[in-house]
């Protein structure tokens, strides 16, 4: 039995789909299933049961003999939420409970961290454990993820195998429900479809031209492939970056999206909202040597190819993975 928390969400539901493709059917989905809008993410998947997030911690002791692996992907991911108590409960406290159950019952664990932990990048994007204590995230979401990473590294008792994945800018199917927190590609597609053009944030940093802000965009299919690699690998515990290792501009992203839609190129630039302007990242790029060093050799999907697949096969036909 494989557990996926956050299974009704974007990455979690794609992971369930990837596991199904690999032949795994005995999967338990954990989430808050009372929230509408996510049903299509999992109703075409094969799984054994669903467990509500609120009862999962108590559910584990009764079922631990059957659990082979836990993917803990459930979290509050809103980078514009500034109520720290929400993140303390859902991202930090809940994750500690999952970790402690894995220790108690000898269950291997992969959990989702975030590149938001790197803040403005003043300390680089190196997943060396020695640097994690130096990081200064720009919002409570990033702080909650970094706080858990730091906590995990200091624990004397750890799962016999565990990995925390600092996910960079993930895009792909099953994010129709995410609203403002959906990927830039998702928002670009909708805006271009509705208006015939895309508005990007203007650069407020003299080191970057308009639309030349850089992000490490990674396909959700690459993310879930790396996760299943770690499930089979089960050694070299630690915290790992998970991006492509190759930053691309927002201009590139929009141009590829427009191309996939077979429309003329029209890009405009608007001021970055003041509430996020001083917290805006102008550059992210994962250093991927650590994950590669333990044997993950698969090439990551080029941005052009990933956007074409996402637009043509999922966004245009409104299809789920």
Residue 101 has pLDDT above 70, yes or no: yes
In this structure, are residues 144 and 119 in contact, taking their beta carbons and an 8 Å threshold? Answer: no
- Six-digit token string for 289: 């040597």
Dihedral angle over CA of 172, 175, 179, 182, nearest 10? -20
User: What mean pLDDT do residues 157-170 have?
Assistant: 97
Query: 156: pLDDT confidence band, cut at 50, 70 and 90?
Result: very high
CA separation for the pair 26, 47 (Å, rounded):
6
User: What mean pLDDT do residues 42-68 have?
Assistant: 97
- Rounded to the nearest 10 degrees, what angle do helices 53-63 and 94-105 cross at? 10
**pTM, whole model, 2 decimals?**
0.94
| The Cα angle at residue 235 between residues 296 and 217, in degrees rounded to 5 | 35
- To the nearest whole percent, how much of the chain has pLDDT over 70? 98
Task: Please name the residues in contact with 190: beta carbons below 8 A apart, sequence gap of 6 or more.
Answer: none
pLDDT for the residue numbered 83? 72
Residues labelled as active-site residues: 141, 178
CATH class of the domain whose range is 2-172+217-246+285-300: alpha beta
What one-character-per-residue DSSP string does 237-267 give? -EEEEES-S--EEHHHHHHHHHHHTT----E
């Amino acid at each position: 039995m494989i557990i996926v928390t956050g299974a009704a969400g974007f990455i979690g539901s794609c992971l369930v789909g990837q596991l199904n493709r690999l032949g795994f059917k005995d999967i338990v989905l954990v989430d808050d299933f009372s929230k509408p809008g996510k049903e299509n993410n999992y109703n075409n998947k094969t799984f054994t049961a669903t467990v509500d997030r609120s009862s999962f911690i108590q559910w584990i002791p009764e079922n631990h003999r059957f659990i082979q692996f836990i993917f803990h992907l459930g979290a509050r991911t809103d980078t514009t939420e500034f109520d720290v108590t929400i993140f303390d409960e859902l991202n930090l406290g809940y994750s500690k409970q999952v970790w402690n159950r894995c220790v108690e019952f000898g269950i291997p664990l992969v959990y989702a961290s975030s590149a938001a932990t790197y803040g403005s990048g003043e300390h680089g994007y190196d997943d060396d454990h020695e640097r994690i204590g130096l990081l200064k995230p720009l919002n409570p979401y990033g702080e909650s993820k970094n706080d858990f990473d730091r906590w995990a590294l200091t624990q004397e008792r750890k799962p016999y195998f565990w990995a925390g994945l600092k996910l960079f800018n993930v895009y792909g199917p099953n994010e129709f429900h995410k609203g403002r927190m959906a990927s830039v590609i998702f928002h670009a597609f909708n805006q271009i479809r509705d208006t015939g053009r895309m508005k990007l944030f203007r650069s407020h940093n003299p080191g970057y031209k308009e639309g030349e802000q850089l992000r490490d965009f990674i396909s959700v299919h690459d993310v879930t492939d790396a996760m299943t690699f770690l499930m089979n690998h089960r050694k070299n515990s630690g915290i790992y970056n998970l991006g492509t290792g190759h930053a691309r501009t927002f201009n590139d992203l929009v141009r590829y999206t427009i191309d996939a839609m077979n429309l003329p190129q029209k890009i405009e630039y608007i001021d970055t909202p003041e509430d996020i302007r001083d917290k805006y990242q102008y550059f992210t790029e994962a250093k991927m040597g650590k994950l590669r060093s333990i044997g993950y050799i698969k090439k990551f999907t080029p941005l052009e190819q990933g956007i074409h697949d996402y637009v043509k096969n999922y966004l245009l036909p409104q299809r789920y993975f």
